[in-house]
Structure 1
Amino acid sequence: MKLNRSGTPSVSYFKSYMLLIMNTRTCSLEVAKEVAYENLFERDSKRLGEQAFRNFQQAHKELMTIYP
């Protein structure tokens, strides 16, 4: 998935991204979170802005209720 810098990625964007990683790599949510963090944020929570990082964290929190 390509990330456009024209706006702040939504919670649903990050949820979709992590689910895509889980499905294509057959991995756990925690692994998908790490891969997404590395790919999108390049291990810098401020790279895409504070709101984007909060949305990323919220997406992970919501997915944890489905994939504990």
Structure 2
Amino acid sequence: MTVNRSSVLSVDYFESYFRLVMTSRNFVLEEAKEYMISNFIQGDVMLYGEDSYHSFTDAYLRLKKIF
């Protein structure tokens, strides 16, 4: 997936991405989080900036209430 590094990725973007990873790989939320950190964020949580990282964590916390 190509992402423009100058844009801020939204909470909704990350929530959708979490759901996609969970569905396609049959992962639980925590497994999806680890997968996204290692593959999408490439181990650098600030790769897409602080605001995008906050969106990532907010999406994770939102989904944690559901799953």
Q: TM-score, normalised by structure 1?
A: 0.88
Q: Within 5 Å, which residues of 2 pair with 1:46-57?
A: 46-57=46-57
Q: Unaligned 5+ residue runs, structure 1?
A: none
Match of residue 28 from structure 2: 28
Q: Unaligned 5+ residue runs, structure 2?
A: none
Deviations 1:6-60 (A, max 9, x none): 4111000000001000000111000001111112211111111011111100000
Count of residues paired in the alignment: 67
Q: TM-score, normalised by structure 2?
A: 0.90
C-alpha RMSD of matched pairs (Å)? 1.2
Percent identical residues? 39
